[in-house]
Structure 1
Amino acid sequence: MTAATHEVFARYHACWEARDPDRIASLHTPDSVFHLHSGEDPVRGRAAIREAVAGMFALVPDLEFTQVSLRTGDDFWVARFTLGGTSASGGVIAVDLADFVLVEDGAVKEKHSYVDGEAMRAALAPAVPDPAPTH
């Protein structure tokens, strides 16, 4: 069963790398929960998950994932990533992420993502222009 879970991870991760909210949402169960644990409320259901993911990609259009580690079990995976990219406001993203995902019948039942919320908020903050030189 671990091989099957690893295969679900591979398909799911490919959708994230492709930045495709529709495909990501389609790999969740209809009643799935997605929770970004950085001050965000959990969202439930494919439509809400698609909207949340699309919002993330709008904030960081070139979001990249560098996999650090992966552990799979019969019905879960735990993965660590480094997130990279540039926020829509110009901030550089360099944040650690840990995912805990429960799998049911070949789809994502729950996805809990843990990220350094303070570092992410700082990177997403509007860029502050340099003050005009004074003479």
Structure 2
Amino acid sequence: MTAATHEVFERYHACWEARDPDRIAELHTHDSVFHLHSGQAPVRGRQEIREAVAGMFALVPDLAFEFLSLRTGEDFWVVRWKLTGASATGAAVDVDLADFVVVEDGAVKEKHSYVDGVAMQAALASEGTA
């Protein structure tokens, strides 16, 4: 990973840790694509990305990221996480996630997040029974 790509990774992760949709969106290119591969359509552009991220934090307000592994290249990173927290209604969230991120000119051009859909649906389905 180049120093510049590593710096983008560090800033981007810090924004997610801070649960800051505005700063996350600012680190994307204007025409960026963010696709949570768990049944949602991809969102495009900073405003749609900001809204999607804010929606994720509304579903799991205390979302936390346990770092598992990182693989890097000149203009990308692939990272595995364990996501934990509680849904807005208190259901436990414990989900595996892998992100594939393409970087262009110091910003996120594409972010593809692959989540354990069965675990996520189980956690969110618990909301209806709470």
Query: What TM-score range do you get, normalising by the shorter chain?
Result: over 0.9
Rounded Cα–Cα distance in structure 2 between residues aligned with 1:38 and 1:118: 9
Aligned to 2:75: 75
Rounded Cα–Cα distance in structure 1 between residues aligned with 2:124 and 2:72: 31
Q: Which amino acid aligns with 2:50?
A: R
> Could you tell me whether the CA contact under 8 Å between 1:66 and 1:81 is conserved in 2?
yes
- Give secondary structure in 2 for the equivalent of 1:74: coil
- Higher helix share goes to which structure? 2
Q: Which amino acid aligns with 1:57?
A: F
TM-score (norm 2): 0.96
Quote the RMSD (CA, aligned, Å): 1.0
Rounded Cα–Cα distance in structure 1 between residues aligned with 2:129 and 2:56: 21
Aligned residues: 129
Aligned to 2:8: 8
Asked if 1:92 is matched to 2:92, the reply is: yes
Rounded Cα–Cα distance in structure 2 between residues aligned with 1:76 and 1:2: 10
Identity in percent: 78
Rounded Cα–Cα distance in structure 1 between residues aligned with 2:2 and 2:124: 36
> Could you tell me whether the CA contact under 8 Å between 1:84 and 1:93 is conserved in 2?
yes
- Give secondary structure in 2 for the equivalent of 1:120: helix
TM-score (norm 1): 0.92
Aligned to 1:128: 129
Rounded Cα–Cα distance in structure 1 between residues aligned with 2:129 and 2:30: 41
Structure 1 stretches lacking a partner, 5+ long: 130-135
- Give 4+ residue runs of structure 1 displaced > 3 Å after superposition: none
Structure 2 stretches lacking a partner, 5+ long: none
Rounded Cα–Cα distance in structure 2 between residues aligned with 1:2 and 1:67: 20
Q: CA deviation at 1:128?
A: 2.0
